[in-house]
Amino acid sequence: MPNAIQVLYESTTSPNSRRVRFFIAEKGIHIDRNPVDLSAKEQFSEAYTAVNPRSQVPTLALADGTVITEVLAIWRYLEEVYPSAPLLGTNSKTQALVTMWERRAELDGFAPVMEGVRNVIAGLKGRALSGPHAYEQIPELVESSRQRVANFFADFNARLATVPFVAGDEFSAADITTLVTVDFSANALKMSIPEKHSAFRQWYGRVSSRPGVGA
């Protein structure tokens, strides 16, 4: 098997790594992990940049030397190789809807939480975006990010008042990104789903017992 999976490079403190660990746990599969210590800046080490020159986690390394980065790309690989249980939809329509709602969770929720965090933390001065290039922090983004997260909570509450799961009737990768976003926001921005958004809070209770939550 030239395309066999060798190892997943990831970090317990990285929310993007959590999206992949969650996905793997929902599949009920085992993949070897190689921890990357972000607090020790191990992602910039010679050993790790030889694997991923962008110094980001997670990274999935295949036995044939192929390196797959980006959560969506790693998910796609795993979904094709381990189709059960499906997390990216099962027909043309549900695949499209999972893609759409997962993206909304990411662009409207996950991305602003990340932006709010990276533009405020002293230790990330000059590193406002992850990746190989240096960018200065822009303090104005902190407030706009918080506004975006508040709107995300309201919009997803409206959505979850009409369907049991983010993309519709079935649990999917859209729920994974949403749950990781909610926890990341509570932890890093101290912003939790407001009390008044009861449908969103009920959804959170519903998905909290999923096998992948603790992964």
Backbone angles phi, psi at 119, to 5 degrees: -95, 5
194 binds its own copies per the rule CB under 8 A: no
99 binds its own copies per the rule CB under 8 A: yes
**Tokens 């290039």 — which residue?**
133
144 binds its own copies per the rule CB under 8 A: yes
Residues 115-134 within binding reach of its own copies (CB under 8 A): 128-129, 131-133
Out of 121, 136, 186, 202, the residue judged to bind its own copies by CB under 8 A: 136
Q: At what angle do helices 198-207 and 173-184 cross, to 10 degrees?
A: 110
Shortest Å, Cβ 137 to its own copies:
10
Burial label, 17 (beta-carbon count in 10 A; 0-12, 13-18, 19+) = buried
What is the per-residue burial (b if ≥16 Cβ within 10 Å, else e) of 44-65? Answer: eeeebeebbebbbbbbbbbeee
70 binds its own copies per the rule CB under 8 A: yes
Structure tokens at 180: 């990781």
Out of 29, 63, 73, 186, the residue judged to bind its own copies by CB under 8 A: 73
Shortest Å, Cβ 120 to its own copies:
15
Please name the amino acid found at residue 15.
P
CB 4 within 8 A of CB 63: yes
CB closer to its own copies out of 185 and 187: 185
Structure tokens at 215: 């992964």
Out of 72, 163, 199, 213, the residue judged to bind its own copies by CB under 8 A: 72
Shortest Å, Cβ 106 to its own copies:
10
Shortest Å, Cβ 157 to its own copies:
14
Out of 6, 34, 45, 95, the residue judged to bind its own copies by CB under 8 A: 95
